[in-house]
Homo-oligomer: A and B are copies of this chain.
Amino acid sequence: MKKINGGVCAAKGFKASGVHCGIRPNHTKSDLALIVSDVSCTAAGVYTTNKVYGAPITVNRLHLADGKAQAIITNSGNANTCAPGGVQLAKDVCAMTAAELGLATEDILINSTGVIGQAMSLDPFRRGIPEAVKALAYGEKASSSAATAIMTTDTYNKQQAVEFELSGVTCHLGAIAKGSGMINPNMATMLLFITTDAAISSEMLSKALSEDVKGTFNQISVDGDTSTNDTVLIMANGLAGNPEITEENADYEVFKEALHTVSVALCRDLAGDGEGATKLIECVVSGAPTLEIARKVSKTVIQSDLLKSAMFGEDANWGRILCAIGYTEGDFNVEKTNVTLESAAGSVWVCENAAHHLFSEELAAKVLAEKEIRILVDLQDGTESAAAWGCDLTYDYVKINGDYRT
Report how many copies the assembly holds.
2
Cβ of A66 < 8 Å from any Cβ of B? Answer: no
Tell whether A315 is near chain B: CB-to-CB under 8 Å. Answer: yes
Residue in contact with A223 in the complex, picked from B306, B325, B404, CB distance below 8 Å: B306
Q: How many whole Å from A393's CB to the nearest CB in chain B? A: 6
Nearest chain B CB to A341 CB, angstrom units: 14
A254-287 vs B, Cβ < 8 Å mask (1 yes, 0 no): 0000000000000000000000000000000000
Which label, helix, strand, loop or mixed, suits the secondary structure of the A interface?
loop
Per-residue contact bits, chain A 375-406, to B (CB 8 Å; 1 contact, 0 not): 00000000000000000011101111111111
Contact B315 A354 (CB under 8 A): no
A173 located at the interface, meaning its Cβ lies under 8 Å from any Cβ of chain B in the complex: no
Cross-interface CB contact of A322 among B82, B313, B326, B405, cutoff 8 Å: B82
Nearest to A334 among chain B residues (CB) is B51
A26-59 toward B: CB 8 Å interface, digit per residue (1/0)? 0000000000000000000000011111000000
CB of A234, distance to nearest CB on chain B (Å): 24
- In the complex, which residues of chain B have a beta carbon less than 8 angstroms from the beta carbon of A399? 395
Query: Chain B: which residue is nearest A225 at the CB level?
Result: B306
CB distance B117 to A319 under 8 Å? yes
Rounded to whole angstroms, the CA-CA distance of A399 and B309 in the bound complex is 8
Distance, CA A399 to CA B394, complexed state (A): 8
Residue contact A186 to B394, C-beta cutoff 8 Å: no
Q: Is A366 an interface residue (CB 8 A)?
A: no
Knowing A50-B323, A52-B334, A327-B226, the reply to whether A405 touches B315 (Cβ < 8 A) is yes
A186 with B319, Cβ < 8 A, contacts A354-B52, A393-B398 known: yes
Q: Is the CB of B187 within 8 A of A320?
A: yes
A394 to B399, CA, bound (A): 8
Does chain B have a CB within 8 A of A312? yes
Q: Which of A303, A313, A402 has the most CB of B within 10 A?
A: A402
Chain B residues, CB < 8 A from A405: 315, 317
A 335-357 to B, binary, CB cutoff 8 A, 1 in contact else 0: 00000000000000001001110
Does B356 contact A82, Cβ atoms closer than 8 Å? yes
Contact between B395 and A225 (Cβ–Cβ < 8 Å)?
A: no
Interface of chain A residues 304 through 318 with chain B (CB within 8 A): 304-306, 309-310, 312-315, 317-318
- A130 on interface, CB distance cutoff 8 Å: no
Whether A121 sits at the interface, judged by CB under 8 Å, is: no
Whether B116 lies near A319 (C-beta < 8 A) is: yes
Count of chain A residues near B, Cβ 8 A = 66
Q: Is the CB of A312 within 8 A of B52?
A: no
Contact A355 B401 (CB under 8 A): no
Q: A52-B354, A398-B395 are in contact. Are A187 and B315 (CB under 8 A)?
A: no
Complex Cα distance, B392 from A401, in Å, reads: 11
Is residue A236 contacting chain B, with contact meaning CB distance below 8 A?
no
Q: What 0/1 pattern do residues 221 to 232 of A give for CB contact below 8 A with B? A: 001111110000
Establish whether residues B304 and A225, one from each chain, have CB atoms under 8 Å apart when the complex forms: yes
**Chain A 109-146 per-residue mask, 1 if CB under 8 angstroms from chain B, else 0:** 00000011111000000000000000000000000000
A121 to chain B, nearest CB (A): 15
Taking the complex as formed, is A324 at the interface, i.e. its CB lies under 8 A from any CB of chain B? yes
A interface list, Cβ under 8 A from B:
49-53, 81-84, 115-119, 182, 185-188, 223-228, 303-306, 309-310, 312-315, 317-320, 322-328, 332, 334, 351, 354-356, 361, 393-395, 397-406
11 of the cross-chain contacts (CB-CB < 8 Å) are A50-B327, A51-B325, A51-B334, A83-B355, A84-B355, A119-B356, A186-B319, A225-B305, A225-B327, A312-B398, A313-B401
